[in-house]
Amino acid sequence: MNEKLKSELITHLSSFLSEERNSKFDDVLSNRTRRITVVLEDLYQSHNSSAVIRSCELFGIQDIHVIEGNNKFSTNNEISVGSAGWVDIYKYGDNSEFDVSSCYHRLKESGYTIVATSPDENSKGLDSINIDDKVALLFGTEENGLSEEALVISDYSVTIPMYGFTESFNVSVACSLILRDLTERLRRSNLNWKLSEEEIRAVKYSWLMKSVKNSDLIVKRFLKERVLPPDRS
C-alpha cells in the first residue's frame, strides 16, 4: 500500500473514533521509539513476559523481539492489561520464520548494538550504554539468564548495581529499571529518537485497524468506492 493511500485510510478510519481518542493516539506516537528495543530469550513465566511488555509499552518502546526455545511465549492479560496490542512483537524459534541466531543477525543488520543483561562480575554499569547507538537489550530466563550464544554475540553486557544478598533482580523489574534509565537519557538528548513519519503512519494504521469496529469491512468499502487502479508495485 502506498503512503498516500495509507494516509487517506488513516483519515477515514480516524473519523470513527472520538477526537479525544485520536488525540491520545497522536500523543503516544510522538513518544514512541525504535532506537531502543528489547529481546526476551526463552522466558517461561507468562507474568514476567507480560510485565516486561507492559513496561516496554509504557516507556515508549515499539518493538519487542521474542525468542522461543524450550518455552512457548505467552502473556497474562491481567498483568499486560492489553499492552501487547500497542507494540510490535517479533517471534523467533523452531516454529517461526526465523531461528534464534537470525534474531541477533537481524538486529545487527539493522544497526543495533547488542547489550546483554547479566549479573556477571565482568558486566559494566548502565552508564556504559551509549545512547548515541541504537541499543537492543537482551534479557534471559528467570533461572539461568541468557544463553551462551546470546552472551557471545553481544557487544558487551551490563548489570544493575545491587547491594543486598540476593543475586539478581526479577527480569521484569530489571527491564523496567534499565528502560527508565535509558529512555530518560534519550529524551533529554538532542538525538532524533522518534519514529519517522512513515513509521508513525504504519503504526497508527495498525492501531486503528484494531480499535475501529468492523475495520476490515470499512477499509474494503473505502477501497471499492475509491475505484483504485491495479497495484503495479
**Residue 131, CA distances (Å) to 57, 122, 158, 189 in order:** 19, 21, 14, 9
**Residue 48, CA distances (Å) to 55, 131, 168, 219 in order:** 11, 26, 14, 36
Provide the residue type at 11 as one letter.
T
In the prediction, which pLDDT does 218 show?
Answer: 96
When mean pLDDT is compared over 120-124, 139-143, 210-214, 222-226, the highest value belongs to: 210-214
Cα–Cα distance for residue pair 86/130, rounded to 1 Å? 27
> What is the average per-residue pLDDT within 68-88?
78
Domain ranges of the chain: 1-32+195-226, 34-188
In the prediction, which pLDDT does 116 show?
Answer: 95
> What is the average per-residue pLDDT within 84-112?
84
Closest CA relative to residue 128, chosen from 104, 157, 154: 157
Closest CA relative to residue 117, chosen from 155, 91, 90: 155
Assess whether pLDDT exceeds 60 at residue 96.
Answer: no
In the prediction, which pLDDT does 227 show?
Answer: 61
Closest CA relative to residue 208, chosen from 197, 216, 196, 220: 216
- How would residue 8 be classed by pLDDT, with cut points 50, 70 and 90? very high
Assess whether pLDDT exceeds 70 at residue 57.
Answer: yes
Widest Cα–Cα separation across the chain:
68
Over the chain, what HEC string results? CCHHHHHHHHHHHHCCCCHHHHHHHHHHHCCCECCEEEEEECCCCHHHHHHHHHHHHHCCECEEEEEECCCCCCCCHHHHCCHHHHCEEEEEECCCCCCHHHHHHHHHHCCEEEEEECCCCCCECHHHCCCCCEEEEEECECCCECCHHHHHHCCEEECCCCCCCCCCCCHHHHHHHHHHHHHHHHHHCCCCCECCHHHHHHHHHHHHHHHCCCHHHHHHHHHHHHCCCCCCC
Closest CA relative to residue 35, chosen from 204, 201, 177, 192: 192
Beta bridge partners of 92: 67
φ, ψ dihedrals at 81, nearest 5°: 40, 45
Cα–Cα distance for residue pair 30/204, rounded to 1 Å? 11
pTM: 0.89
Cα–Cα distance for residue pair 179/157, rounded to 1 Å? 15
pLDDT tens across 158-167, in order? Answer: 999 989 988 7
Provide the residue type at 129 as one letter.
I
- Return the CATH class of domain 34-188: alpha beta
